[in-house]
Amino acid sequence: MDQPPDRSKRPWKFSTIVYSSSILFLLLSIFLLGFTNTDLYKVQSLRFTFTVNRFYSYLQFLLGFHDGTPKSKSETLNPASSTPHCVLWMAPFLSSGGYSSEAWSYVLSLRNHLTNPRFRITIEHHGDLESVEFWNGLAKETKEVAIEMYREQCRPNETIVVCHSEPGAWYPPLFETLPCPPTGYEDFLSVIGRTMFETDRVNPEHVKRCNQMDHVWVPTDFHVSSFVQSGVDSSKVVKIVQPVDVGFFDPSKYKPLDLMAVGDLVLGSGMKNGFVFLSVFKWEQRKGWDVLLKAYLSEFSGEDNVALFLLTNAYHSDSDFGNKILDFVEEMNIEEPRNGYPFVYVIDKHIAQVDLPRLYKAADAFVLPTRGEGWGRPIVEAMAMSLPVITTNWSGPTEYLTERNGYPLVVEEMSEVKEGPFEGHQWAEPSVDKLRVLMRRVMSNPDEAKVKGKRGRDDMVKNFAPEVVAKVVADQIARIFDEKIRT
């Protein structure tokens, strides 16, 4: 039987050289050209924080100073650890969004809830643009942990790489980003792709990229089925649910955020102490904002003393959300009731991560009539905060939302995606009429809603708490190490 190649001695690939060279250029620009304190400067400074050590390590390998044994203090193992085994977790750690929050939840769960771990964890930003605003909104302790994990040094031939992003960012990437794995698929002990999709299938290019991985982790049974049916090797696909930080998202710890202070009134004339629906989403068709507005404005009026707060941000569009809503009302011919429109507020300001629990605490119910979700991060955060949740009974949420712990919204039909990278795929069309019924039911039956909200939190704690998921992930990683060691 042929011996496997010595992965520690393989040369670094050209794409990594180019990416690293561009980083060096950016660093030299910062120091030599004297940028002022602009957003560009802040982004490059942030990139510097997460790049200088890794760049030094890349140069060591690139110039042949590494032969598989530690050569300097920077290469020695963490003295607090007795294991050479390492996991390099590559994800959009410095961006806001679903992949970012999910990656943070995994690495923090593993770090905080494993006793005597069999492997160390190092992290690398990959897969999306850096956001200074997002980084600044992280808790001080999280930033410190991030930098500490980033500085962990690992040898490729003792490392499992997790590429936690959409497959277009995997080696070789289809857009500008640090490739994952950094030098191709043969240099590391094993490579895991963590990804998901919001439609009924995976496109052929992404199927090909998934099949290059040793393992493909997906969050739900829905994804196991859709990935395998699309052509991903069934032996590679493993369901790994997403952790929910139920300690952080704990309603007993917080006072409500003043929504009136952060929201801009779009419809209605202001409210006092009324029922509050909250929705959190990117402004895109997939999130079903049109379904939500149509149902809400058709079911309620000014006399109901109810408000809908939309925390949203632009997605390949401008951010004039107020006028978008007014234009939608006009296009749909939604007539103003005799007692006026129910209140609609838009929150388009950045809400720091540390303030998100207070946002949920200020609401009475959460609603998102989505056409498709990979997982549904705001949904599970709302459930962890004991909010009654209304969301579409399709795709990601089917993993955790039931009639017992929430309000699953009926799918009226499947429809074809008309534009974008998933054109031709299918996704759900939630029922506007059923959404009207559920929103009225939640508002009119607060005792029932409260019971469902409590059950929702109980289920989050039981099934998706960090310590629960950390054990599942650690067991999977340990199994891979064991298999590689045996062979």
Q: Do domains 84-242+465-484 and 257-463 have the same CATH topology?
A: yes
Q: What is the pTM of this model?
A: 0.85
Residue 360 amino acid letter: Y
Burial class (CB in 10 A: 0-12, 13-18, 19+), 179: buried
Burial class (CB in 10 A: 0-12, 13-18, 19+), 255: exposed
Domain 257-463: CATH class, spelled out: alpha beta
Residue 403 amino acid letter: E
Contact of 233 with 371, CB cutoff 8 Å = no
In angstroms, the CA 339 to CA 343 distance is 11
Contact of 114 with 188, CB cutoff 8 Å = no
The residue ranges of DSSP E strands in 60-113, in sequence order, are 86-91
Task: Classify the phi-psi angles of 231: left when phi > 0, otherwise alpha if psi is within -120 to 50, otherwise beta.
Answer: left
Q: What is the full per-residue pLDDT of the chain (487 aa) written as tens digits?
A: 444 444 444 434 444 444 454 444 444 443 444 444 455 445 555 555 555 455 455 445 545 555 444 444 334 334 445 578 999 999 999 988 889 999 999 999 999 999 889 999 999 999 998 888 888 888 899 999 999 999 888 889 899 999 999 999 999 999 999 999 998 898 899 999 999 999 999 999 999 999 999 999 999 999 999 999 999 999 999 999 999 999 999 999 999 999 999 999 999 986 677 999 999 999 999 999 999 999 999 999 999 999 999 999 886 667 799 999 999 999 999 999 999 999 999 999 989 989 999 999 999 999 999 999 999 999 999 999 999 999 999 999 999 999 999 999 999 999 999 988 899 999 999 999 999 999 999 999 999 999 999 999 999 999 999 999 999 999 999 999 999 887 7
Domain ranges of the chain: 84-242+465-484, 257-463
In angstroms, the CA 41 to CA 37 distance is 6
Tokens of 415: 């429809």
| Homologous superfamily of domain range 84-242+465-484 | Glycogen Phosphorylase B; (3.40.50.2000)
184: three-class secondary structure by DSSP: strand
In this predicted structure, what is the pLDDT of residue 273?
75
CA 251 to chain centre: 22
In angstroms, the CA 416 to CA 53 distance is 46
**DSSP letters along 165-195, please?**
S-GGGBSSPSSSS--BSBTBSSSSSEEEEE-
Tokens of 308: 């809908």
What is the torsional sign of CA 315, 317, 323, 328? Answer: negative
Contact of 54 with 129, CB cutoff 8 Å = no
In angstroms, the CA 341 to CA 203 distance is 42
